[in-house]
Amino acid sequence: MSDQPTLAEIRERREIATRRIKEDTGIDQDMIKNIVHGFYAKVRDDAMLGPVFDEKVENWDHHLDRMVMFWSSVALATGNYDGRPMQKHLSLKITRHHFDRWLELFAQTLSEYCEEPAARHFMERALRIASSFEIGIAAHNGVILGKGERYDPVSSWDPK
């Protein structure tokens, strides 16, 4: 007999985790959709982030649908997202300033769409994602960040 859980057991554990998160935070699919759409409306209008996204996102409807699935997986442990988000971000010419702005807009959006337990839950995950992406992008560009260091390269491109 194997000590590995069956697929049914994994699904059941995921459903229990999702139900517990919903109960503890009030997060649901409608909230996730509102946050994603509200956040990306801000991003598209933002002087720093808008151009970065406009250069890469060809189909906004598709992108928003994918981001709803992503945040459903991240916030509710649903497993709905199966992409590789780090890969999509490695070639971007962004610095710590872009991540800081992303987090600022995300926090603003959370304050508009959810109560404190949900906002805290989302923000904890957003901070980990931003940190992971910043470290990954730095490494992709040959920079290994030490503990507490941020990615702010001096190069010929304008990081604003």
Q: Is 121 annotated in some ligand binding site?
A: no
Specify whether the CB–CB gap between 67 and 130 falls below 8 A. Answer: no
For domain 9-79+88-140, the question of CATH label 1.10.10.10 is answered with no
Q: What share of the chain is helix, strand, coil (3-state, %, to 5)?
A: 70, 0, 30
Of 33, 34, 27, 43, give the one whose Cα is nearest residue 120. Answer: 27
User: What pLDDT is stored for residue 3 in this prediction?
Assistant: 85
Three-state DSSP class for residue 20: helix
Give per-residue burial for 127-149: e unless 16+ CB within 10 Å, then b: eebbeebbbbbbeeeeeeeeeee
**pTM (global) more than 0.75:** yes
The two tokens of residue 134 are 């910043």
The answer for residues whose C-beta is within 8 angstroms of residue 75's C-beta and 6 or more apart is: 21, 25, 27, 32, 121, 122, 125
Question: For the chain, what's the residue count?
Answer: 160
Average pLDDT, the chain: 92
User: For residue range 2-25, what is the model confidence (pLDDT) as tens digits?
Assistant: 689 898 998 899 999 999 999 999
Dihedral of alpha carbons 55, 60, 66, 69, sign: positive
Rounded distance between C-alpha atoms, residue 106 and residue 42, angstroms: 9
The series of mean pLDDT values per 10 residues for the chain, 160 residues long, is: 84 92 96 98 97 94 96 93 90 93 98 97 97 94 91 60
